Amino acid sequence: MARPPFPRNVREFQHQFATEEACQLYLAACRWPEGFRCPRCGHQRAYAIVTHRRWECAACRYQVSLTAGTILHNTKTPLTLWFWAAYLMTTDKRGVSALLLQRQLGLRRYETAWMMLHKLRRAMVNAAREPLHGDVEVDDTWIGGPQPGIKGSRQLKDRLAVPILVAVERRDDRSGRIRMVVLPNFTAMTMVAIFKEHIAPGSTVYTDGLGGFAGLHAAGYRHIALKQPRRSALRKGATSVVPLADRAIGNLQHWLIGTYHGVSRAQLQVYLDEFVFRHTRRKPPMAAFQTLLGLGTGHTPTPYRRIRGGRDILKPADG
User: Which residues of this chain interact with Zn ion, rule CB under 5 A?
Assistant: 38, 40-41, 43, 57, 59-60, 62
Strand partners, 64: 55
Q: Which CB sits closer to Zn ion, 36 or 275?
A: 36
Least Å from the CB of residue 47 to Zn ion: 11
Distance between CA atoms of residues 140 and 268, nearest Å = 15
Distance between CA atoms of residues 115 and 309, nearest Å = 12
Q: Which of 260, 269, 265 is closest to 318 using CA atoms?
A: 269
Q: Which CB sits closer to Zn ion, 34 or 172?
A: 34
3-state SS, residue 135: strand
Q: Which CB sits closer to Zn ion, 45 or 306?
A: 45
Least Å from the CB of residue 70 to Zn ion: 22
Q: Which of 285, 287, 293, 292 is closest to 23 using CA atoms?
A: 293
Q: Which CB sits closer to Zn ion, 38 or 101?
A: 38
Q: Which CB sits closer to Zn ion, 1 or 234?
A: 1
Q: Kind of pairing, strands 63-65 and 135-143?
A: unpaired
Q: Which CB sits closer to Zn ion, 40 or 283?
A: 40
Show Cβ contacts of residue 10 under 8 Å, excluding neighbours closer than 6 positions: none
Least Å from the CB of residue 2 to Zn ion: 22
Q: Which CB sits closer to Zn ion, 41 or 160?
A: 41
Least Å from the CB of residue 28 to Zn ion: 15
DSSP code of residue 240:
P
Least Å from the CB of residue 58 to Zn ion: 8
DSSP H or E segment with residue 128? none
Least Å from the CB of residue 64 to Zn ion: 9
Q: Which amino acid, one-letter code, is at 182? A: V
3-state SS, residue 112: helix
CA atoms within 13 A on the CB side of 105: 30
Least Å from the CB of residue 61 to Zn ion: 7
Q: Is residue 199 left, alpha or beta, with left meaning phi > 0 and alpha meaning psi from -120 to 50?
A: beta
Least Å from the CB of residue 293 to Zn ion: 26
Q: What is the dihedral of CA 89, 92, 94, 97, to 10 degrees?
A: -50
Distance between CA atoms of residues 241 and 224, nearest Å = 10
DSSP, residue by residue, 125-178: S-TTPPPB-SEEEEEEEEES---TT--STT--TT--SEEEEEEEEEETTEEEEE
Least Å from the CB of residue 39 to Zn ion: 8
DSSP H or E segment with residue 108? none
Distance between CA atoms of residues 123 and 270, nearest Å = 10
